[in-house]
Amino acid sequence: MTLAAIESLLGIAEIAFDTGPILGDPFLVSPAHPFIAGATRAQGTLSHPIVMSFVILAGVAFACAQRSRPGLRMPLLGLLLVGAFATGSASATVIAAVIVILWILNRRTAPGATFAVLGVGVASLVLIGSGLSGAVLEDEFSATNTAHRMNSIASTSNLVTLRSVPSAIFGDGFGSVERLYRSGVLVDDGFYALDNQYVALLIQGGVAGAVLACCAFVGMTWLIATAPARRRYFAGWVGILAMGFAFDYLAWFATSALFLAYAGVALAASDDSSRRVAATSTAFPHARL
């Protein structure tokens, strides 16, 4: 959460003061901000706006899963949402907003829920009045973005039928994406980026790897959704999986580590009362609880 907050502050400073990247190499592929005319997409210290947006998305997921200090979380979540917007990633911004809304709907205390609803109401009015909400949705579902992502999905049949049998079953490994674009296996629209984690799994691990990975994701989702102590991580986990349809985050070291960290923390979560009972039973085995 701290890292995501720092990245958000850097991103906001890049936009507000028109500094461009403060730290790291400039992102040159599509640097223009899709929502703010004349601005450059924020990238923080990560040299890529989409990578930064995923870091912020993970920060939102972790923040919403915490149990302590709900009053401090709303300002933090507001900062992170603005940071996600600064990256120019419509997918991350929309998914992060949905995670926050689900967290608000799940609030247990009346003061916290009231404060949260008022905060979201004010933010919604500002977004609607400024036209930014429409710009985000328009970019997310624009012909260019939608066509590129659909091209990645449309390539799945080619990955099974146009590759050799060993490659189709076991994959081509890392670093094979550009070669598959050039060979015509992947639909070439002039932009050699998959923007889809699940297609990337099929490329790198073949049908066997993709099936195993998806089974693991489904199993982890079930474990997180069915255990009361883990359920607070569920919205963030689903949001991270949903981001996989817009970004192949396991191709980057930083985002891979965050994905594994969130999954590990969520699966390791246990109820505080259960831990206290277990500790008491160990210290006083004959005590009546």
Predicted confidence pLDDT, tens digits, the chain (289 residues): 889 999 999 999 999 888 878 777 777 766 788 888 788 889 988 888 999 999 999 999 999 998 777 677 888 988 999 999 999 888 899 899 889 888 877 765 565 566 566 666 655 655 555 555 555 555 555 556 677 778 888 889 999 999 999 999 999 998 888 899 999 899 887 778 888 999 999 999 999 999 999 999 999 999 999 999 999 999 999 999 999 999 999 999 999 999 999 999 999 997 654 444 444 445 555 544 4
Q: Note whether 175 and 224 are same-domain residues.
A: yes
**SS3 state at 196:** coil
**SS3 state at 210:** helix
Does some domain include residue 283?
A: no
Q: Note whether 109 and 11 are same-domain residues.
A: yes
What domain range includes position 213?
A: 150-230+238-269
Q: Note whether 129 and 166 are same-domain residues.
A: no
Q: Note whether 105 and 27 are same-domain residues.
A: yes
Does some domain include residue 6?
A: yes
**SS3 state at 60:** helix
Helices 90-105/234-243 angle, 10° precision: 160
**SS3 state at 112:** helix
Q: Note whether 1 and 57 are same-domain residues.
A: yes
Query: Domain count of the chain?
Result: 2
Contact 95, 21 (CB under 8 A): no
Q: Which tokens sit at 182?
A: 């050039």
Q: Note whether 196 and 264 are same-domain residues.
A: yes
Which position has the token pair 């973005």? 145
- Residue 151 makes CB contacts below 8 A (sequence gap 6+) with 186, 187, 189
Q: Note whether 72 and 155 are same-domain residues.
A: no
Residue where one domain finishes, among candidates 119, 141, 163: 141
Does some domain include residue 37?
A: yes
Does some domain include residue 48?
A: yes
Rounded to an integer, what distance in angstroms lies between the CA atom of residue 219 and that of residue 213?
Answer: 10
Rounded to an integer, what distance in angstroms lies between the CA atom of residue 98 and that of residue 235?
Answer: 9
Q: Half-sphere exposure (CA, 13 Å, Cβ side) for 156?
A: 13
Q: Note whether 179 and 199 are same-domain residues.
A: yes
Rounded to an integer, what distance in angstroms lies between the CA atom of residue 151 and that of residue 101?
Answer: 31
Residue where one domain finishes, among candidates 82, 111, 141: 141
81, exposed or middle or buried, with CB in 10 Å at 0-12, 13-18, 19+? buried
Does some domain include residue 27?
A: yes
Q: Note whether 83 and 187 are same-domain residues.
A: no
Q: Note whether 17 and 125 are same-domain residues.
A: yes
pLDDT of residue 288: 44
For 15-48, give one letter per residue: b (16+ CB within 10 A) or e.
Answer: beeeeebeeeeebeeeeebbbbeebbbbbbbbeb
Does some domain include residue 282?
A: no
What's at 34, amino acid-wise? P
Rounded to an integer, what distance in angstroms lies between the CA atom of residue 191 and that of residue 153?
Answer: 14
Q: Note whether 44 and 110 are same-domain residues.
A: yes
What does the CA dihedral 183, 141, 17, 81 come to, rounded to 10 degrees? -110
Does some domain include residue 12?
A: yes
Q: Note whether 120 and 45 are same-domain residues.
A: yes
Please state whether the predicted TM-score (pTM) of the whole model is above 0.85.
no
Does some domain include residue 28?
A: yes
